[in-house]
Structure 1
Amino acid sequence: MNISDLEKIDGNTYPARRLTKNIAGGVSSIQAENFCMGLVTLEPNGGQVPWHNHPEEEIYTILEGVGEICLGTERSEIYSGQTVYIPSNEFHQLTNIGETPLQFIYCYGPAGDVDHWKQELKGTLPKAGEEAPPLPEGAQPQCTEPAEEYK
């Protein structure tokens, strides 16, 4: 039996003020072939998964907190208990707009790391409205700052 224990997973911290812990796939002890899954914590007041896309379809299930979800040309608030489906290649962004941490589970398939994690660390994510489609009107700005080790 292979069990992944969130209490024992350090996770990775990203410049957009989020902590990502792989539950299945990536560096997790559980290596699924057809999907990846993880727990993400966005810091209060602006922690973010920046505007990006990838060929994998994905879902986010909000466990606690309130966020602004941008998907293509749409923008909406999303709350604990809600799940959003993200189609393949659709640009998306999730920003914590609350005073407390926002936690969510992501799941995408097939298994494997997505490029936007490395791009975010290096500060090379395509910029909204320049190399990528613009964010929906009124959306929180995209974080494009590189990690300290890449500055």
Structure 2
Amino acid sequence: MPEITIFHNPRCGTSRNVLALIRHAGLEPTVVEYLTHPPQRDAIAALARAAGVPLRALLREKEAAFTELGLADPALSDDALLDAIERHPVLLNRPIVVTPLGTALCRPSEAVLELLPVGPLPPFTKSDGETVLDHGRRRGA
């Protein structure tokens, strides 16, 4: 079975839908509840590199700490951003999924489909009643 990891917040609807989609594919991921088990700063930086995005792209701008800490300032270094995430793990956006096909912040939840090394999947109904159709497009395919 392929190794899949999800950095998950069980209180987040998108994160719950992504986890359910992975399981809908017949896969059981390693679930990292990053608010209770925050990843180390090197791991966070590695996730951004693997996803091919700047570290700033993994920040959750809607969190109060984002504004309070002045994280919108584009002059802040990655070290400063990592310091903030280390002190306030809620600043890490979710869900981040790692599979053999790649790493991505899966927002919207159906973005996880291109990372799943199986498929196409039968239709899936998200918690809000929206149906997700898998067109079989995968990274590297």
Structure 2 length normalisation: TM-score? 0.27
Q: Which has the larger radius of gyration?
A: 2
Higher helix fraction (1 or 2): 2
User: If each structure's strand is expressed as a fraction of its own residues, which one has the higher value?
Assistant: 1
